[in-house]
């Protein structure tokens, strides 16, 4: 099984590149952001709990997020050839929980693919995306900046976490979509 963690700040292009990787390597795509948004749309208790954090650009607490992620992986485990985790893990505790959970199943993260993009480019991309995404957290520049700040405060540490395991692969996230996809493929093909 190939299990990829697609990593990078908000607006780095994780969702776009996940679509390509899913297609090319037949992986199951799990975006925790998408799962939260679906729950909010359907008015579930999980959605109600998560919404207040998402609105502010803050991370949803680990207790909620980890349980949700594990449930989605569990549902797909029997049929999946591998997973692409998009937007998870986002804290050291989530990284540790994912490793422990996969280990119990005899699995492991194969690689972290990190899309590297400068902050000002991210803000511009997210404001542009906000014109069509329908996401309230893309429409407000202060919320966008709060999301980027959360990334540096809580998520960026995962670079060291996966580097220590020899699994970190940084990729220049600026360029055309096919160019960036090619950079990612070169790494995945060597796994
Ligand atoms: P995304 O679609 O990945 O940009 O996620 C949108 C929002 O959902 C984030 O700003 C967080 O509030 C929340 N979220 C998504 N994934 C996670 C996660 N792994 N941990 C905590 N919060 C998350």
Which residue among 34, 54, 70 has the greatest number of ligand 1 atoms within 8 angstroms of its CB, and so is best to mutate?
54
Residue range 126-158, pLDDT digits in tens: 999 999 999 999 999 999 999 999 999 999 999
- CA-nearest of 162, 163, 181 to 171 is 181
How far, in Å, CA of 19 to CA of 99, rounded? 24
Half-sphere exposure of 182 (CA within 13 A, CB side): 6
Check if the beta carbon of residue 169 is closer than 8 Å to that of residue 112: yes
Residue range 56-76, pLDDT digits in tens: 999 999 999 999 999 999 999
Three-class SS state of 81:
coil
Check if the beta carbon of residue 82 is closer than 8 Å to that of residue 25: yes
Check if the beta carbon of residue 4 is closer than 8 Å to that of residue 83: yes
Angle of helix 141-150 versus helix 45-56 axis, rounded to 10: 100
Tokens read off for 61: 């607490």
Q: Helix and strand tally (H, E) in the chain?
A: 10, 5
Q: Which is the closest atom of ligand 1 to the Cα of 34?
A: 2
How far, in Å, CA of 1 to CA of 180, rounded? 23
Angle at 148 between CA 143 and CA 154, to 5 degrees: 120
Q: Whose CA is nearest to atom 11 of ligand 1?
A: 59
How far, in Å, CA of 11 to CA of 41, rounded? 22
pTM, two decimal places: 0.95
Q: Ligand 1 center to residue 80 CA distance, Å?
A: 23
Query: Please, what are the domains in the chain?
Result: 2-188 (3.40.50.300)
145 classed as catalytic: no
**Across residues 90-102, what is the average pLDDT?**
98
183 classed as catalytic: no
Task: Give 54's pLDDT tier (boundaries 50, 70, 90).
Answer: very high
54 in contact with ligand 1, CB cutoff 6 A: yes
Check if the beta carbon of residue 50 is closer than 8 Å to that of residue 187: no
């Amino acid at each position: 099984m190939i299990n990829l963690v697609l990593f990078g700040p908000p607006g780095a292009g994780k969702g776009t590149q996940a679509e390509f990787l899913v297609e090319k390597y037949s992986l199951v795509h799990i975006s925790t952001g998408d799962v939260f948004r679906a729950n909010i749309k359907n008015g579930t208790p999980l959605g109600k709990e998560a919404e207040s954090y998402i609105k502010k650009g803050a991370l949803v607490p680990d207790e909620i997020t980890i349980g949700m992620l594990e449930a989605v992986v569990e549902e797909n485990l029997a049929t999946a050839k591998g997973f692409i985790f998009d937007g998870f893990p986002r804290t050291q505790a989530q990284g540790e929980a994912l490793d422990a959970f996969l280990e119990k199943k005899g699995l492991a993260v194969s690689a972290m693919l990190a899309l590297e993009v400068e902050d000002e480019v991210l803000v511009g991309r997210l404001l542009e995306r906000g014109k069509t995404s329908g996401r309230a957290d893309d429409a407000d520049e202060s919320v966008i900046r709060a999301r980027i700040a959360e990334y540096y405060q809580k998520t960026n540490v995962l670079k060291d976490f996966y580097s220590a395991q020899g699994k970190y692969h940084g990729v220049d996230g600026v360029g055309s979509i096919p160019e960036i996809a090619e950079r990612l493929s070169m790494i995945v093909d060597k796994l």
